[in-house]
Copies of this chain bind each other. A is one copy, B any other.
Amino acid sequence: MGDLILTTFDWVPQAPRGFVRDLRARWALEEAGLPYRVVGVPFDDRKPAHFAHQPFGQVPWLTDGDISIFESGAILFHLGELSDTLVPTDPQRRSDAIEWLFAALNSVEMASLPWSLCQFSGNNHGPNWQMFDGFLKMRLGHMEQVLAARDWLAGGFSIADILMADVLRLVDRFDGLADFPACRAYVARAVARPAFAKAHADQLAFFAAADAGRIPA
């Protein structure tokens, strides 16, 4: 393992603070007790060097010595390989954790992201909205069955729970878990972990510190 450096934006507006995806990586790093530092890349003026690390101009990315990784799922998978505490060692459980890592992104966030974009933009009405709202509710109905029967997705707490809880947390920002009490209880269990609290506070502090040096738009 080389030095772990997590890159996020050097500043973001108030609305996404506490939800910028570097949180997922910070949370995993804190759970694992791995040493790391966080650096900022310009939010306003995204340079070719940024796209060389993250081809979509987003954040975060992680460097581990010479290896540079984007995508929160891929970063969590990599951190899982560096730590004994983030992924179960039993083969079926390890497979479960990887499968749920993908499912958090592709079966749940795939439905929650369009729903959230409609909510954020105020376009939460009309036929498309009904379609996306129905799509998310269907997926949450299935998650409700899963989470009513277990505390964590793959045996003990794992990288899959970091991703799933973070995806569901954003849904609940718009009260989207009101009809899904097991999903809401799962998020509450996850965010009660000290590693989440540390990661969340650190992200808020990072962007708050940036306000001081920023020229108002």
Contacts and interface: CB of A to CB of B under 8 A. Distances in A.
Contacts of A66: 92
A57 B114 CA distance: 21
Contacts of A73: 102, 106
A105 to B, nearest CB: 5
Interface stretch (A8-16, A29-37, A122-130, A180-188): A122-130
A139 interface: yes
B118 A128 contact: yes
A139 B51 CA distance: 12
Q: Count this chain's copies in the assembly.
A: 2
Nearest to A77: B98
A145 interface: yes
A184 to B, nearest CB: 18
A75 B192 CA distance: 32
Given A67-B92, A92-B66, A55 B142 contact: yes
B128 A71 contact: no
Interface in A67-84: 67, 69-74, 77-78
Interface string A125-140: 0111101100100010
Nearest to A113: B110
Interface in A1-46: none
Nearest to A97: B74
A110 B21 CA distance: 15
Contacts of A55: 103, 142-143, 145-146
Contact of A110 (B51, B101, B109, B132): B109
Contacts of A123: 127-128, 131
A99 interface: yes
Contacts of A85: none
B131 A71 contact: no
Contact of A70 (B91, B103, B109): B103
Nearest to A92: B67
